[in-house]
Structure 1
Amino acid sequence: MPLMLSRDLAKFGGLPKTLFAQHHALLEIEENICDDCHSDATSTRTCPEKDSSISRFKRNLSTALKCMTILVFLAITSYTVIHLASIEELVRGLRDEHPSHPVNCGHTKESAKAAGCVYDIMMVGWVAPGCIDPYVLSDALSPNSSLAGVKGAGTFNFSLNYDFTELIPQDVEVISQHDWIFANWEFHKAHCAYVWRVLASALERKSKGEKGVYIYRTLLTYEHSLHCSKVLLDREKSLLEPTKMQAGGTNRCVLL
């Protein structure tokens, strides 16, 4: 009996060991499967935890990108609005600093005449009456002016063509009827000398307390003063060289 029992125990004693070995083998297989999920991107096996994490990451990344796009758009929009507002404020300030004359000449000789504007030969265009300086204008067209001797005033040559074969008189009624005319370079220099005298006269009148002093808007721009500086300092062009000018335009008049 003891011998038989011993044999039976030995026979059954191997069962727990066999079950333990099988259980351990199953655990190793499960670990290998999960390891494959995390380390082998090409494996056809799936790991639920990994798939769930990837999905959450993708959703979070998509949300973050959308938020960044919205923030960038709002920033650009805000900058544009602020920039445009500052430009508008600057333009409004310039307008308030030099308000226009109540008489608006428009943009054509017809509108200028209808508004009661007058023609300034030295500016070759229409302007509100308040912008005309009678003394400076009459002196610029007078052969007795102190500037006539240096060809800065007096009578100038005007023509309808480049070759000066169709001359027209220095007369407001005649010159103002044309859209374009030709003059000599001599007149261009005289024009620049004229606008500086107009500006100096206006500044002097205002400094003495005169109210409502109006002036050509172009005389308050640096660009025009630079242009006239080049014209007056130029030594290469002949005084007889033709220069084409718009004769039917209008000039803006502003309060100094």
Structure 2
Amino acid sequence: MPNGGLNSHLFGKREEILSWDTRYKIALGLASAILYLHEEWDQCVLHRDIKASNIMLDGDFNVKLGDFGLARVMSHKLDSHKTGLAGTFGYMAPEYVMTGCASKESDMYSFGIVLLEIVTGRKSLERGREDESDDDSESDEKSLVERVWELYGKKELLSLGVDEKLGDDFNMEEAECLLVLGLWCGHPDKSSRPSIKQAIQVMKLESPLPVNLPLKRPVATYYNSTSSSSPLSVNSSRASITFSSKEVGR
């Protein structure tokens, strides 16, 4: 794959900046790959480790989704597959972190994080930048999805959410589409995420963006399996920070 991994273009030291048209092409290519895995093969394939470094690019920047070492196959009739925790923190859905149950929805969460990386040029987890206030101790603890959700709530998505290396050279409608879709996929409640078919319709501008996405990122709540009256709340990004961006379960 002559153009290597997507991560090297977004976060590496390549001199050539990944253009907006190419970024959108990559996003659509990744969506197409997930559609095949989730819906179009005889059984459903859960990738479980969708991330920028596993998105390989050929000479024309066509996408090949690689590294199926953690993938699991399940019947299309099943909702989830108990696998145990494995993957890369920063891309892992909160319910997957809590239960170890992988699903199409947990793959969609990872897909959403990659979309945010493609638009912002920032990693799913990273230390605070120099331009952020030293007095803001919380800044180092926020994941990319938290940062972008804050911009969404302040209506600053396009002014502050697009990779500064692009300048003004990007399509505003497409950028808003990928950012909002990334948040939709990154919703803490898996039942609130779109399917890959819905996501592709939005990316092709054939369906509208969600109008009920909350301005503030919700906190996911789960119930202890031993007692339905014992709710557990989890913010997956803070759990992720504990382990930095290490891979687990390899």
Report if TM-score (shorter chain) is over 0.5: no
Q: 1 or 2 for the larger relative contact order (CA 8 Å, sep ≥6)?
A: 2
Structure with greater helix percent: 1
TM range (shorter): under 0.3
Q: TM-score, normalised by structure 1?
A: 0.23
TM norm structure 2: 0.24
Larger Rg: 1
